[in-house]
Structure 1
């Protein structure tokens, strides 16, 4: 909560003299609200207050950032929550949607995989959208392309979940060869995967994710959008559940 200095409150409740009154000796009127002298006094008090309380600047910046994120999320609602290019897990008609941006070579994403599966299990009304965000290497990009191609031939998402878990939880670096091996292991149509990877739809899906991440200011993975809030990092089940609850009922615990 932002605290307001009592001296600022006192000045804010002062009323400008009525139009018929003689001009104030403190300065000329600057329109409705305050005289020139009053404005100068307010500016001086505010400046001194922020010098003495620099943490208030950080608090205001955090509030401004939160408002900016809400606007970005609202403006990109369709692409974030309902894009046909990305996989939906959990309850397709859930009352809360959690969007996760991830990279197959991200160690924190490997940890967050168990968090996501636990949240889906514990929240029958949770809808999860997965968005590829390959930022770590060429191998990450190649693996993401294979993943999008797997998703294109699996509208139910069941094969993709199997692929996603095997690739993300496996040892070593993810790259094209390893991603293709996992796709073959889960029974994907390999000829179609190679064809789709060369086509425009895979590239468009990855471009969409990149543009969304850039608009949201995400620079690393995992990053989430839950309701009107962004969450950065592998913060754990408890914090993600609190954000889900907040989106659902307005409180950290429903």
Structure 2
């Protein structure tokens, strides 16, 4: 048996299917020797461990990507045509990007200018905003205010408020929101009255339920056509993905 347990056999045993070598048929002495050979081989060739780890990570990433593709496909109507989320950019664009965001999220703020650059520079992107306040009470208040603005004053006013909130670094309070509304000549009182309405609550709850279905646990999260992109992505990377999808 000793002659069979050579480095080549050890290497084969690390990658072979479970049925290829039945260790239960070894004696205790043979099993101990086998373990010693495996340890010695790995100590002499530690790169094998990293190769195995990299292979595992690649397989896991591929499985996650396939699972995400299925999630997007199964929930396409709620993602791309829910009837209430803001749709900007070019509504007739050949590519759709959806962003789940939170106004208190630092990475959302970091991504904001880069997403704007991508959407405005391309000119053929349909851009959808999903309000997902998950970072505390101020996040919720900000989202309620933005959604209420959309309902009361329309999409153009919503976009102005959305952009301002994405750039705002102070505390979100009734006073600061009132000033923001006044700066755009909006009816602050009407918007604040609408904030706690069932209509606003329903939109937030539906988006939150969709995020849970899509297994979204953080912001920003993007959907680019058929793919879920979890987390912040710099402009160059988003543009490269966009160009790849266009072929």
TM bucket normalised to smaller: 0.7 to 0.9
Aligned to 1:174: 172
After TM superposition, give the deviation of residue 45 of structure 1 in Å: 4.4
Distance in 1, matches of 2:176 and 2:69, equals 38
Give secondary structure in 2 for the equivalent of 1:53. helix
- From 5, 19, 29, give the equivalent of 1:44: 19
Which runs of 5 or more structure 1 residues have no equivalent in the other structure?
Answer: 1-40, 250-254
More helix as a share of residues: 2
Aligned to 2:104: 105
Give secondary structure in 1 for the equivalent of 2:103. coil
Between stretches 52-61 and 133-142, larger displacement belongs to 52-61
Contact 2:144–2:196, Cα closer than 8 Å, also in 1: no
Distance in 2, matches of 1:86 and 1:177, equals 26
Contact 1:139–1:173, Cα closer than 8 Å, also in 2: yes
Contact 2:89–2:127, Cα closer than 8 Å, also in 1: yes
After TM superposition, give the deviation of residue 246 of structure 1 in Å: 2.6
Query: Residues 247 and 172 from structure 1, CA distance in 2 versus in 1: closer, same or farther, beyond 3 angstroms?
Result: same
After TM superposition, give the deviation of residue 127 of structure 1 in Å: 0.7
Distance in 1, matches of 2:221 and 2:241, equals 13
Distance in 2, matches of 1:195 and 1:241, equals 40
Query: Residues 45 and 225 from structure 1, CA distance in 2 versus in 1: closer, same or farther, beyond 3 angstroms?
Result: farther
Query: Residues 103 and 169 from structure 1, CA distance in 2 versus in 1: closer, same or farther, beyond 3 angstroms?
Result: same
Which runs of 5 or more structure 2 residues have no equivalent in the other structure?
Answer: 1-15, 24-47
Aligned to 1:231: 229
RMSD of aligned Cα (Å): 2.5
The TM-score, its normalising length taken from structure 1, stands at 0.73
**Alignment pair present for 1:150 and 2:149:** yes
Give secondary structure in 2 for the equivalent of 1:62. helix
After TM superposition, give the deviation of residue 176 of structure 1 in Å: 4.4
Aligned to 1:76: 75
Contact 1:90–1:126, Cα closer than 8 Å, also in 2: yes
Contact 1:146–1:176, Cα closer than 8 Å, also in 2: no
- From 190, 212, 226, give the equivalent of 2:188: 190
Aligned to 1:126: 125
Number of residue-to-residue matches in the alignment: 207
Give secondary structure in 2 for the equivalent of 1:58. helix
Contact 2:72–2:226, Cα closer than 8 Å, also in 1: yes
Distance in 1, matches of 2:183 and 2:106, equals 23
Give secondary structure in 1 for the equivalent of 2:240. helix
Distance in 2, matches of 1:235 and 1:73, equals 19
The TM-score, its normalising length taken from structure 2, stands at 0.75
Give secondary structure in 2 for the equivalent of 1:153. helix
After TM superposition, give the deviation of residue 233 of structure 1 in Å: 2.3
Query: Residues 46 and 160 from structure 1, CA distance in 2 versus in 1: closer, same or farther, beyond 3 angstroms?
Result: farther
